[in-house]
Amino acid sequence: MTTQLARPVTTRASDPTVRVENVSKRFNIHKDKSLKERLVNLRRSRTHAEQFWALRDISFELESGHTLGLIGRNGSGKSTLLKVIGGILTPNQGYVERRGRLAALLELGAGFHGDLTGRENVYLNASILGLSRRQTDQYFDRIVDFSGIEEFIDTQVKFYSSGMYVRLAFAVAIHVDPEILLVDEVLAVGDEPFQRKCMERIKQFQRDGRTIVFVTHGLDQIRELCDRVILLEHGKMVLDGTPVDALRAFRDRYSSEPVAEEQHGTRVVEVISTRVTDGAGRPKDRFDPGEALAIEIEVTAHRPTDDWVAGVAILNHLDLLVYGTNTKILGVDLGRLDGRRLVRFAIPELPLVEGQYFLTVAVHPGSGPEYHRLDRTVGFKVYSASGEAGVVHLDPTVELDEAR
Amino acid sequence: MSTVTSGPPGHASFNAEVEPLQRVNAPRSFWGGFGATVREVVQYRELLGQLVRKELKVKYKDSVLGFLWTLIRPLLQLLVYSLAIGVFLGSSKTIHSFGIYLFTGLLAWTLFTDIIGGCTGSIVGNAGLVKKVYFPRELFPLSVVGAAIVNFGLQFIVLLGAFAVTGQWPALSQLALVPLALLVLVVFGTALGLVLAAANVYLRDVQYLVEVGLLLWFWLTPIVYDWTKVKQNLAIERGWAAAYQTYLANPMTNVVLAFQRALWEAGKGTPFYYGGNLAGRLAVLLVVCLVLLWLAQRVFARAQGNFAQEL
């Protein structure tokens, strides 16, 4: 792989590449699109013309070579802000300044026409994104190569599978060679190898010193790619800081909201309550990596039974199973259950990275249908002082030695 | 994985100096904004070319006869009007070479309807792009105009064929009227198309109004009948001179009359051959239409800031 810098960007690092100054954007919500609707609603429309501020007084400067992530819940104004920066929407107040060529990956294949062939669409889409015909000629083979759909390049794109469609679109978009790249939720396309390729490409952009602004719901991507994050809520800027701070603030605001609880089971044995404690019995919901933690499950039997197993699973914010076990796996015979009992799973050291975690607990017989199961019933958070990535907190030490 | 190993040629200057910060969608004055937009459209000419190509390719894709429909449609119209008006109403007895007379008018009219009809739906039809990517929104209506002109060129070949068959080649003396009339038509159509394209975003009824409006307009233009009937019935018999002058002020009337004078050789010397100062009239119209185009672009520019949220 010959990785050569496409074009060293020589702007001084302190110069802003994007400046957003007091930007506010107001939307009118009215759905009257025909004359009839307008006439019918004429009297009401004045009073009913609902307005809301999609963005309110947003100001920031983004220096060259940085990667900014915009996060927030649906409707918080992230995509609107991206469109204002991209020039697709004009703000009602304030303005945006920027320098250099911009490419927006707002929606892959927005410029594709189903009746045209892949080749024709590559040329059309490339020119929409700002490449000249000569440049497209130059990049064409690389674009097709990246997309991996050589055989179908002269087929009309309406016959493409959605994966092929998006891959070709992405391949065009990343060859546009911009100084500023706007990315809106497009990294989650294609199969896994293709996603890795896309991610690699974005990182290449970063190494080239280009400025990236991107919107995503994938908090992992934020942690992996951004060096600065802005958290939006109802169109206002709530926080502008490091990914660690922003993700923490985001989780504090939203993830600890009541979890949708799902219960299943025959209810011969029932879980009454689940608690997370510090191991000494005191309830606790924030931990450092390496701290002790205990999961306490209180159960009751509606008729006495010898055949029961208690299980617990730890899931992260993506619903990824981080750890799961039960008393049977652990080789513990719980004996006869008659009335209430408290089962405690004690974990001496919690080897998890920063994040929000949820517990799923269950009681069931050795085999057969479950007695009772509660999905994502309680949550706890882990705050880490180090900005580590991944799932497991390993706390390695580093030594430097002579090479052998 | 492939990597970009060389920068695009257009960006060599980026290394040399730091580009200044530029305001995005900088407000433009009402008077000065036209020039800035024209410069921007020129910058994007390559994309305009691609969009025109797309319009042409997509139009008759997947139809068996494909591009031939561009020629078949006006020929069928010609057949219908020749039969109904030429034979049944008897116009072909008084108007010589009625087929060529009809076709010259239909040629101009088809170009006009292609521009107006296409422009009206151009922004709404490209909603996906308007909402996602920035480039001058004028490119959408302009690409329709470009495609319509290409179609016009093809249909003109049919007319040339008719000249060859009948041997009635037009005289060179009046031929200069064709480009002038064409210019008036395109400028006028573009101006109207820009306004209608923007209006249709806010009020979808516009596209239906345009359909009806074009039908009315067709019959207010001397394409399938001749202008002497209008003069006879309005100005002479009823004495409505003002109404007759209004009728003549219609830009399309002037364009069609110019086409007929330049290309309908058999009409020379007959009463149906409009004798007024067409060149002068067209020149005045061109100036008026250019002002209209400027005004239309300003209206379009005002409206386009909200396209993305209205669609």
pLDDT at residue A122 is higher than 50? yes
B106 neighbors B79 (Cβ within 8 angstroms): no
- Position B40 scores a pLDDT of 87
Contact B133 A129 (CB under 8 A): yes
- What residues contact B82, with CB distance under 8 A and at least 6 apart? B92, B98, B99, B102
- Give the residues across from A228 on adjacent strands: A68
Mean pLDDT computed over B144-148: 95
For the ranges A115-124, B114-123, B223-232, the one whose mean pLDDT is highest: B114-123
Q: Kindly report the CA angle at B145 between B41 and B108, in degrees rounded to 5?
A: 145
A331 Cβ partners below 8 Å, 6+ apart?
none
CB contact under 8 A, B134 and A8: no
Contact between A33 and B26 using a beta-carbon 8 Å cutoff:
no
Nearest CB neighbour to B24, from listed A35, A87, A175: A87
Rounded to a whole number of angstroms, the distance from the CA of B25 to the nearest CA of chain A is 6
Does residue B5 sit at the A interface (CB-CB below 8 Å)? yes
Hey, of B5, B14, B23, B24, which one would you mutate to test binding to chain A, going by the most A CBs within 10 A of its CB?
B24
B309 CB neighbours in chain A (<8 A) are: 27, 89
pLDDT greater than 50 at residue B13: no
Structure tokens at A52: 């809301």
* Furthest CA-CA distance within chain B: 82
Which residue type is seen at B122?
Answer: S
User: Which uninterrupted H or E stretch holds A345?
Assistant: strand A340-347
A227 three-class SS: coil
CA dist list (Å): B76 to A30, A118, B79 = 44, 35, 5
pLDDT at B120 > cutoff 90: yes
Give the whole-angstrom CA distance, residue A207 versus residue A92: 35
B120-155: burial string, b at 16+ Cβ within 10 Å, e else = bbbbbbbeebbbbbbbbbbbbbbbbbbbbbebbeeb
Distance from CA of B212 to the nearest CA of A (A): 15
The stretch B291-298 carries a mean pLDDT of 95
Residue tagged 């009007």 (tokens):
B81
CA distance A182 to A26: 22
The reported pLDDT for the residue numbered B133 is 81
pLDDT of residue B219: 94
DSSP B127-188: HHHHHH--S-TTHHHHHHHHHHHHHHHHHHHHHHHHHHHH--PPPGGGTTHHHHHHHHHHHH
Instruction: Select from B309, B310, B311 the residue whose CB has the most chain A CBs within 10 Å, as the one to mutate to test that interface.
Output: B309
B26/A34 Cβ within 8 A? no
Question: pLDDT value at position A100?
Answer: 82
Q: Token pair of B274, please?
A: 């409009």
Report how far residue B104's alpha carbon sits from residue A84's, in angstroms, rounded to the nearest whole number: 48
Interface test with A, best of B1, B4, B130, B210 (most A CBs within 10 A): B4
Are A127 and B47 in contact (CB < 8 Å)? yes
- In chain A, which residues have their Cβ closer than 8 Å to the Cβ of B7? 6-7, 177
Predicted confidence at residue A147, as pLDDT, reads 87
B26: distance to nearest CA of chain A, Å?
8
Confidence of residue B213 (pLDDT cuts 50, 70, 90): very high
Q: What is the pLDDT of residue B129?
A: 84
Query: Residue B249's pLDDT is what?
Result: 92
Nearest Cα of chain B lies from the Cα of A124 at a distance, in angstroms, of: 6
Question: Residue A196 phi/psi, 5° resolution?
Answer: -60, -40
Are A111 and B5 within 8 A, CB to CB?
no
Whether the model pTM is above 0.90: no
A33, A106, A177: residue with CB nearest B8 = A177
CB pairs under 8 A between A and B: 146
What is the residue-averaged pLDDT of chain A? 83
Give the per-residue pLDDT at B10.
Answer: 38
From A125's Cα to the closest Cα of chain B, the distance in A is 9
pLDDT of residue B274: 80
Q: Residues 103 to 162 of B: which have CB under 8 A from any A CB?
A: 128-135
Distances from the Cα of B223 to the Cαs of B80, B107, B108, in angstroms?
Answer: 13, 10, 9
B241, B235 contact by CB (below 8 A): yes
SS3 B228: helix
CB spacing of B47 vs A128 below 8 angstroms: yes
Is B50 in contact with A123 (Cβ distance < 8 A)?
yes
Is pLDDT of A349 > 70? Answer: yes
Q: For chain B, give the number of residues.
A: 311
Beta strands in A247-333 (DSSP E): 262-264, 269-277, 286-287, 293-301, 309-316, 321-326
Chain A interface disruption, residue of B134, B137, B202, most A CBs within 10 A: B134
B24 interfacial to chain A (CB closer than 8 Å)? yes
What are A55-71's pLDDT values in tens digits?
999 999 998 889 999 98
Question: What is the per-residue pLDDT across A7-59, written as a single tens digit (0 to 9) for each?
Answer: 444 445 457 889 999 999 988 776 655 666 666 666 555 545 677 888 999 99
> What is the reported pLDDT for A4?
39
pLDDT given at position A249: 84
Alpha carbon A162 to chain centroid, angstroms: 21
- Kindly write down the DSSP assignment for every residue of A183-194, as one continuous string: EES-SS-S-HHH
